[in-house]
């Protein structure tokens, strides 16, 4: 009976499309789907603000606020854990709110070290019922959060106080917490299951050949004792990274933990890490209890493009010809969606070995082929020829055509050389950390992607003066240089734009797509975002050409897909059947976070963190908005 109950619970956590939101991705398989249907196609235009919560980050000094990026997706705790809505601020303050009013019930500030050049962020927290603690005792219901400065903290879900039985006064140091946050930090929430709390890391992997290793650690959820760890670059002594910065997924029935691993360091040069780089750029399935590798699927071999696994592996049932296969969908930056049998890692679509161009960098042995699923189709066209250059006027179109003519480009997986090379998609994707939503048991995935072209080249470091500090992705039209210490090269990256700052490819520059993972085809696509605020001055009307976007969306049984993510401060609702925009709301700042929804006391709420776009140089703030239909 207990086994049955446990199985039922596991099934519920994985596929039970409840009207709550107990996990970062909706459930432990990250489907971003809710069975809530009170808000539907017919009434979504009546949504109104139910309440607003401010984390307080907006009161930070400007120099700190400018480094923040509110990217948190709250979770809703079950009634026995207090039924609070819990989220974290960019500075890792954890807050529990009344789901109906947004009133703050408790808060915990871990007071992180903010001496960093990197953006501060916290995408969410995790909840776990620690059944080794007697019901009613403190910390039976736990909130786990990882701080930017690499501390794993356990809090009581009911009062926000630290769990004293966990580590040292409620916290344990994470791998790399003895290093600067300019080397290693954190972004995604940890995952909890089977008495373990498991965490990845955010590694600065493009500055250093030997970046910190991407070690994943599992700790006892009661005591904080390290149970196992996994180094995805074991054997690569001159490299690092391959860390897991996107959220992980868990299938407790299969006792498997799914890691979306990133590139080995450095991102754009691999002479120091010959070979395929095994577990990097992969989905790695680990035995939940032991951390042993059960299978792995590498979607980029010997990465030279920063094509990390950017999104949470989405667990769903692949139903075809009367059979139901436990499956996993992995959206990728390079614009493919891989669909795997999550028991074995075998692709459910034939994988074709796509021959790819060789590298011209001395000593660089690029992989000769890269895996490509024979279906679904690529999410974007990865070629851009001079004939396809786009511009508002013949003048800027001509500029773009000239630039494209001078670029090297052999399509996807063209390695960077000492000449300027087209990167399409660039390191922003394709898909990114927003992932996607799978509609109930339909096998239909809806996700947002970027399409704007980047360019890059490798420059001999000895030939140029030391560059100023750059960013991760050239998202705002800038170009920057990043010395890859430990290699002979500096990588220069930029967006491919005309003098008007407009991408050289035809719009849309961000889009929303519905992909049938079972039939292997694209059902529809729609521009995502308006460019009316991207110019030197805002326009009073929307121009729906799509914008670069970060953050994800969610789908509901009401036939809706909600998403912010764009550079136009909009929160939108799309019709899942055809991509039509049914509703939008103008937020004070951009919402680079994934929304969530829940039903509380009979009322469905839609909640999104609007904190601005650090990466897009957009205004920052600290809003958490809740929307609902008018009462009565």
Partner 1 sequence: MTYIDKTGIIASALSEVIMMRKLAPLFCLLAMTAQAVQLQVSDPEGNPIPQAMVTRTPLDTPTPDLSDDGYAPDGITNTAAVTVTRFTNTQGQVDIAREGKYSYRVRAQGFKDNYSNSAVGNLKLSPMNSQELIASYPSNVWLSQLAFGGDHALKEVFQLNCSFCHQQASPFMRNERTVEQWVSVIERMNTYGARLPEDDIQPVAELLQKEYRGLRENPEQVPAPRRWETHLAAIEMTEWPIGDGFSQMHDFLLHPNGFVYVGDNLFDRLYEIDPKTGEYTVYKVPHEEDARVGGILGNRFTLFPKMQNYMGVHSFAYSKKDGNIFITPSLQQALLEFDVTTKKFITHEMSAGLYPHTIRTDEQDRIWFTLALSSQVAMFDRESAEFTLYDLPARGIQEWLVLKALPALFLLDPEDRPLPSADRDSTGLPMPYGIDVAPDGGIWVARLYANDLAHIEPDTGEITMIDFPYSGPRRLRADANGNIWIVAFQNSLLVKYDPISKDFTDYELPVINELPYALNVDRDRGTVWVNGNQSDTIMSFDIATEGWKVFPMPRQRFFTRDIEISEQDGAVYTTNSHFPTWQSEGATPTLLRITPLAD
Is residue 399 close enough to count as binding partner 1 by CB under 8 A? Answer: no
Residue 480 CB, shortest distance to partner 1, in Å, is 23
User: For residues 314 and 253, is the Cβ–Cβ distance under 8 A?
Assistant: no
CA angle (204 as vertex; 244, 419 as ends), nearest 5: 110
Tell me if residue 206 falls in helix, strand or coil. coil
Separation between Cα atoms, residue 72 and residue 510, nearest integer Å: 21
417 to 436: interface string for partner 1, x by CB under 8 A: x-x-xx--------------
331 binds partner 1 (CB under 8 A): no
Rounded Cα distance, 166 and 544, in Å: 50
Shortest CB 397 distance to partner 1, Å: 16
| Span interacting with partner 1, options 107-115, 184-192, 406-414, 595-603, rule CB under 8 A | 406-414
Residue from 50, 256, 356, 412 binding partner 1 (CB under 8 A) = 356
Is 287 considered catalytic here? no
Q: Binding partner 1 by CB under 8 A: which of 120, 236, 407, 626? A: 407
Please give the residues from 508 up to 527 whose contact with partner 1 meets the rule CB under 8 A.
520-522
Does position 353 interact with partner 1 (CB under 8 A)? The reply is yes
| Selection from 144, 63, 51, 176 nearest residue 104 by Cα | 51
- In 3D space, the residue among 611, 621, 614, 551 whose CA is nearest the CA of residue 67 turns out to be 614
Distance in Å, CB of 371 to partner 1, minimum: 11
Residue with Cβ nearer partner 1 (192 or 512): 512
Given 57, 251, 303, 306, which residue is catalytic? 306
Q: Does 398 bind partner 1 (CB under 8 A)?
A: no
Q: Which residue has the tokens 């996607």?
A: 436
Among 46, 344, 368, 463, contact with partner 1 (rule: CB under 8 A): 368
Give the three-class secondary structure for 592. coil
Nearest distance from C-beta of residue 398 to partner 1, angstroms: 13
Element (H, E) at 604: strand 603-610
The stretch near partner 1 (CB under 8 A) out of 1-9, 66-74, 229-237, 345-353 is: 345-353
Query: Measured between alpha carbons, how far is 243 from 262 in angstroms, rounded to an integer?
Result: 5
Q: How many CA atoms, within 13 angstroms, populate the side-chain half-sphere of residue 6?
A: 11
Instruction: Find the binder of partner 1 among 357, 486, 488, 588 (CB under 8 A).
Output: 357
Q: How far is the CB of 330 from partner 1 (least distance, A)?
A: 17
The span from the first CA to the last CA of the chain, in angstroms, equals 42
Q: Which two tokens stand for residue 586?
A: 């103008």
Is residue 209 a contact point for partner 1 (CB under 8 A)?
A: no
3-class secondary-structure state, position 466: coil
Residue 344 engages partner 1 in binding (rule: CB under 8 A): no
Q: Given the complex with partner 1, which of 42 and 368 has the nearer CB atom? A: 368
Count, residues near partner 1 per rule CB under 8 A: 38
Q: Does 355 bind partner 1 (CB under 8 A)?
A: yes
Binding mask 377-396 for partner 1 (x = CB under 8 A): xx--x-x-xxxx--------
CB of 386 to partner 1, least distance (A): 7
Strands 249-251 and 256-260: antiparallel
Q: Which is nearer to partner 1, 110 or 373 (CB)?
A: 373
Long-range contacts of 498-503 (CB under 8 A, 24+ apart): 498/391, 498/396, 498/397, 498/399, 498/400, 498/403, 499/396, 499/399, 500/391, 500/392, 500/396, 501/477, 501/534, 501/535, 502/390, 502/391, 502/392, 502/396, 503/390, 503/452, 503/453
**Listed residue (106, 57, 61) closest to 623, CA to CA:** 57
Among 9, 11, 374, 392, which residue sits at the site for partner 1 (rule: CB under 8 A)?
374
Is residue 427 within 8 A of residue 374, CB to CB? The reply is: no
CA dist., res. 157 & res. 159, Å (int): 6
Q: How far is the CB of 161 from partner 1 (least distance, A)?
A: 54
Tell me the C-alpha distance between 519 and 419, whole Å. 40
Beta carbon of residue 308, minimum distance to partner 1 (angstroms, whole number):
23
Stretch that binds partner 1, among 136-144, 158-166, 309-317, 376-384 (CB under 8 A): 376-384
**DSSP-derived 3-state class of residue 589:** coil
When the beta carbons of 172 and 412 are compared against partner 1, the nearer one is 412
Task: Figure out which of the listed residues 9, 11, 410, 469 binds partner 1, where binding follows CB under 8 A.
Answer: 410
Identity of the residue, 86 or 384, whose beta carbon is nearer to partner 1 in the bound complex? 384
CA distances from 488 to 418, 461, 462, 482, 557 (A): 12, 6, 7, 12, 53
For the chain, the 3-state helix, strand and coil shares in percent, each to the nearest 5, are 5, 35, 60
CB of 417 to partner 1, least distance (A): 6
Decide: is 286 part of the binding site for partner 1 (CB under 8 A). Answer: no
Residues near partner 1 (CB under 8 A)? 350, 352-358, 360, 368, 372-378, 381, 383, 385-388, 404-410, 414, 417, 419, 421-422, 520-522
Q: Which residues belong to the active site? A: 306
């Amino acid at each position: 009976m207990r086994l049955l109950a446990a199985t039922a619970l596991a099934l519920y956590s994985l596929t039970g499309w409840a009207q709550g939101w107990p996990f970062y991705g909706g459930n432990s398989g990250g489907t971003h789907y809710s069975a809530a249907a009170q808000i539907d196609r017919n009434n979504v235009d009546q949504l109104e603000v139910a309440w607003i919560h401010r984390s307080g980050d907006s009161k930070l000094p400007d120099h700190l606020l400018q480094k923040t990026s509110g990217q948190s997706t709250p979770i809703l705790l079950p009634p026995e854990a207090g039924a609070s809505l819990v989220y974290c601020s960019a500075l890792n303050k954890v807050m529990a709110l009344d789901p109906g009013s947004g009133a703050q019930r408790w808060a915990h500030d871990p007071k992180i070290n903010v001496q960093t050049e990197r953006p501060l962020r916290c995408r969410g927290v995790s909840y776990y019922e620690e059944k080794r603690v007697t019901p009613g005792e403190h910390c039976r219901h736990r909130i786990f959060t990882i701080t930017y400065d690499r501390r794993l903290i356990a809090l009581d879900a009911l009062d926000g106080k630290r769990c004293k039985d966990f580590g040292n006064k409620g916290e344990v140091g994470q791998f790399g917490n003895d290093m600067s946050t300019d080397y290693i930090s954190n972004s995604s929430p940890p995952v909890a299951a089977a008495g373990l709390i498991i965490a990845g890391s955010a590694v600065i992997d493009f500055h250093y050949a030997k970046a910190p290793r991407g070690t994943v650690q599992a700790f006892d959820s009661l005591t904080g004792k390290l149970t196992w760890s996994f180094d995805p670059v074991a054997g690569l002594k001159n490299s690092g990274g391959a860390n897991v910065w996107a959220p992980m997924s868990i299938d407790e029935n299969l006792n498997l933990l799914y890691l979306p691993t990133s590139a080995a360091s450095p991102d754009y040069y691999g002479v120091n890490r010959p070979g395929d780089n095994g577990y990097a750029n992969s989905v790695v399935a680990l035995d939940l209890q032991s951390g042993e590798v059960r299978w792995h699927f590498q979607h980029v071999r010997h990465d030279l493009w920063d094509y990390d696994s950017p999104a949470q592996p989405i667990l769903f049932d692949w139903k075809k010809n009367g059979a139901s296969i436990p499956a996993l969908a992995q959206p990728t930056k390079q614009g493919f969606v891989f669909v795997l049998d999550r028991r074995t890692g075998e692709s459910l679509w034939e994988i074709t070995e796509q021959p790819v161009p060789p590298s011209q960098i001395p000593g660089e042995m690029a992989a000769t082929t890269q895996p490509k699923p024979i279906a679904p189709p690529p999410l974007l066209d990865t070629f851009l020829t001079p004939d396809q250059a786009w511009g508002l006027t013949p003048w800027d179109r001509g500029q773009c055509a000239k630039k494209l003519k001078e670029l090297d480009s052999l399509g996807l997986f063209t390695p960077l050389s000492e000449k300027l090379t087209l990167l399409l998609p660039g390191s922003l994707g394709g898909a990114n950390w927003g992932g996607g939503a799978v509609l109930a048991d339909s096998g239909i995935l809806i996700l947002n992607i970027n399409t704007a072209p980047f360019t890059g080249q490798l420059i001999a470091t000895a030939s140029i003066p030391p560059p100023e500090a750059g960013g991760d992705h050239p998202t705002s039209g800038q170009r920057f240089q990043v010395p890859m210490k430990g290699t002979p090269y500096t990588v220069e990256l930029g967006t491919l734009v005309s003098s008007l700052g407009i991408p050289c490819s035809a719009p849309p520059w961000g889009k929303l797509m519905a992909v049938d993972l079972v039939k292997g085809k694209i059902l529809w696509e729609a521009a995502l975002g308006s460019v009316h605020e991207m110019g030197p001055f805002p326009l009073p009307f929307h121009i729906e050409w799509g914008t670069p976007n970060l953050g994800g969306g969610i789908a509901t049984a009401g036939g809706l897909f909600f998403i912010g993510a764009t550079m136009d401060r909009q929160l939108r609702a799309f019709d899942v059947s055809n991509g039509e925009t049914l509703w939008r709301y103008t937020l004070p700042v951009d919402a680079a976070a994934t929304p969530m929804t829940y039903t509380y006391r009979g009322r469905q709420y839609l909640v999104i963190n609007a904190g601005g776009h650090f990466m897009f140089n957009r205004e920052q703030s600290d809003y958490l908005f809740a929307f609902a239909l008018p009462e009565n």
